[in-house]
Structure 1
Amino acid sequence: MNKWAIGIIALTLILAGVVYAIYESNDYDFEDSTKSYEILNKWELPEELDEVSGMQWIGDEKIACVQDEDGIIFIYDLSTSKIIKQYKFANSGDYEALTSLNNELWVAESNGKLFNIKSLEGVEENSEVIELEFEYRNNIEGLAANTNGELWLSVKERNLDNSSGYKGIYSFNPLTNKLNKEPVLKISYDDPKFDVLKTDNPRKLIRPSDITFSPLNDDLYVLDAEFQKVLIVDRKGQINNLHLLDPAEFAQPEGICFSPSGRLFIANESLGGPANIIEVKIN
C-alpha cells in the first residue's frame, strides 16, 4: 500500500471520528424511535459551498446560498443540481446568514454587519453595508425577515446585554436602520421542552446557527448546528416543538429556509462528507 492510499485511509478515519465525537457529545441518545421528521430529498453541493452557512428560497426551484468565507451569493438550482450564478457582494469575511425582504437580499456577518443587495443583476460589490452594535462575542448566525417588514437576528453566543437565563432574538428595522437592543423574543432555558436533552448547560440547550419563519403560520424555526435540532417557537418565545436531528444525517446544519408553499430545507456544511441541502418534512 503506497503512502497516498495510507493517507486517504487515515483522513477518512479522522473524519469519521469527528462525526462520531459530535454524535457522542450529546447528552441524549438519538434513536430512530425519536425521529420526528422525514427526509424527502437531498442534494450534494459542489466544493464552492463546502462551508455553506445560510440560504434563501428565491423561486423556480432556486436557492440563494452564502458560505462562511467568501462575499459571494451562489444561486443553486435544485432541478439541475448545479450552481447557475454567482454574485460577489463583498470581500472575504465571516458570512453566516441570508434572507430576503421586499425582493432584496440581506446577508449577516458574524461581527454585526448587514449587507443589503438590491439586485443580483446589478453591479457587483455594490451592496449597502450597515454596521450594527454587535460584537464578535455575540456572534450573529441567524437572520430572517418577518411579515411586518423587520429583520430578526439570532446570536449564537452572548446576549447583547450579557444577560443569562435565555437566548435572545433581536429585531432590526430596515426603514430606520435601527436595532432594538431589547430582545424581541426570549427563549427561556427553563422551557420544559428542553428536558429531552437531559442537561441544563445553556451551550447545549440552544446555540442558534440560523432562523427562519414558517410561511404557513409565522412560527419561528430555530436551527442548532452544534447539538443538532430544530426548535419551533411562537411569538412569545415558548417552544411549541423541539425536533432532534440525527447527527448521522445532519452533521453540521448551518442554514434553514422555507419555500412559500411550506417546503423546508436545511443546509449542512461539509463534515465527513460533501456539504448538502436536505428537504425535510417535520411531523
Structure 2
Amino acid sequence: MKVMNAAILLYILLVLSFTGCSRQGKSFVPSIPGYHTDTRQTIVLDKELLEISGMYYLPDTRIAAINDEDGKIFLINSSTGDFTVTKFGRKRDYEDVVVVDSFYYVLESNGNIHRVPVAMANTEEEFEFPREKKIEFESLYYDPNLKQLVLVSKEQRETKKGIITYTFSPDSLQFSDDILYEIRRKEIHEHLKDNNAEFKSSAAAIHPVLNKLFLVASVGKAMLQCSLDGKIEGAWQLNPVQFPQPEGLTFAPNGDMFISNEGADGKATILKFPYTPGK
C-alpha cells in the first residue's frame, strides 16, 4: 500500500509540474536559446495527415511529409497547412522522410529505405536494411558532411546502449556495416537529470545555423542537442500539452523549427518556432 501511495504521489507531482509548465506557456523546459513560446505558430492539419510521422523542409518553403501507414508523399504549405498528395507505395509502417538531390528517401520502421524520384513520385525503389537483429527506427536525417543518410534507432537489441545509428549512402545505395555512433542511455539520464527517463527517438534533424543534431522523443517527451558524432550537449523536457505526440522535426534554412504532432487528441498539428539567435 505504501508503495502504491508513493507511486500515486509521484504521478500527481509530475502532472502538477507539467500543468504548471502549460499555464506558463512554456514549450521547452528549460527554454531553448533562440526559441520562444510567445512566437509559436500552430498549423492544424487535415484529417488525412492525422498520423503524420515525418517531415522535411523544402527550398520552396513547403514541407514534405508522410503518413504513418500510407505510401504517400504530402507537400504541405508551411503557413496554411494546405497540401497536395502523391501515392508512391503500398501500406507499410513509414516513419520519416528526407529529400536529397532529386529523390525522396522514406524510412520504414524496420530500416528499409524507399527511394522515390521527386519528378515521378508515383514510383519507388526499396532497399532492405541488412540486419537480422531486431532494431526499430523512427528517425532519418541527412548529414551533408558525411554525404550519408543516418538512421536513428528507437528501440534495439543489438547493444546495451540507448541509441545506435547506421548510414545509407545515396550514391552507392548501400547501408553501412558498422554502427556510426551510439548515445548511451546513462548520458541521456544525466543530461535530463532523471535516472528513469525514457528517450525513444521519433525524429531527428541537423540545425542549419548551429550545425548541431537535434533529436525529439515522443516516448519520454524530451529533446536532445548533440554534436554530429552523437555527443549530448543539451537536453530539454517537452510540455506534453503542446506536444501530445511529437513525431516529426525539421528546420528552415534560417533555423526556424517545425515539430509535428500526430493527432493524439483528434487533430494533428505542426508547431513552428521562429529562430531568433541571441534572444
TM-score range, shorter chain: 0.7 to 0.9
3-state SS of 2:235 partner: strand
Mapped to 1, the partners of 2:263 and 2:13 lie a distance apart of 19
Mapped to 1, the partners of 2:207 and 2:14 lie a distance apart of 27
Match of 2:250 among 250, 257, 280: 257
- The Cα of 1:244 is off from its aligned counterpart by 1.1
After superposition, give the CA deviation of every residue in 1:146-197 in whole Å (9 maximum; x if it has no partner).
11320000111105xx210331121112222222242212112222763535
Mapped to 2, the partners of 1:58 and 1:207 lie a distance apart of 26
Q: Which amino acid aligns with 1:45?
A: L
In structure 1, the partner of 2:78 is 78
- The Cα of 1:134 is off from its aligned counterpart by 4.0
Unaligned stretches of 5+ residues in structure 1: 1-22
Q: Which amino acid aligns with 2:218?
A: A
Distance of aligned partners of 1:281 and 1:196 in 2 relative to their CA distance in 1, 3 Å threshold: farther
C-alpha contact (below 8 Å) 1:194/1:205 kept by paired residues: no
Q: Which amino acid aligns with 2:217?
A: D
C-alpha contact (below 8 Å) 1:28/1:196 kept by paired residues: no
- The Cα of 1:217 is off from its aligned counterpart by 3.0
Distance of aligned partners of 1:54 and 1:192 in 2 relative to their CA distance in 1, 3 Å threshold: closer
Distance of aligned partners of 1:123 and 1:109 in 2 relative to their CA distance in 1, 3 Å threshold: closer
Counting only pairs closer than 5 Å after superposition, residues 203-222 of structure 1 correspond to structure 2 as 204-222=197-215
1:133 aligns with 2:126: no
3-state SS of 1:247 partner: coil
Q: TM-score, normalised by structure 2?
A: 0.82
In structure 1, the partner of 2:223 is 230
Q: TM-score, normalised by structure 1?
A: 0.81
Quote the sequence identity (%). 26
3-state SS of 2:175 partner: strand
- The Cα of 1:209 is off from its aligned counterpart by 0.5
Match of 1:177 among 173, 176, 196: 173
Mapped to 1, the partners of 2:248 and 2:121 lie a distance apart of 26
Unaligned stretches of 5+ residues in structure 2: 1-10
- The Cα of 1:25 is off from its aligned counterpart by 11
Mapped to 2, the partners of 1:55 and 1:196 lie a distance apart of 26
Mapped to 1, the partners of 2:188 and 2:266 lie a distance apart of 35
Aligned residues: 253
Distance of aligned partners of 1:48 and 1:235 in 2 relative to their CA distance in 1, 3 Å threshold: same
Distance of aligned partners of 1:134 and 1:233 in 2 relative to their CA distance in 1, 3 Å threshold: same
Match of 1:150 among 129, 148, 157: 148
In structure 1, the partner of 2:64 is 64
3-state SS of 1:278 partner: strand
- The Cα of 1:61 is off from its aligned counterpart by 2.7
- The Cα of 1:214 is off from its aligned counterpart by 1.2
- The Cα of 1:108 is off from its aligned counterpart by 0.5
1:42 aligns with 2:42: yes
1:100 aligns with 2:99: yes
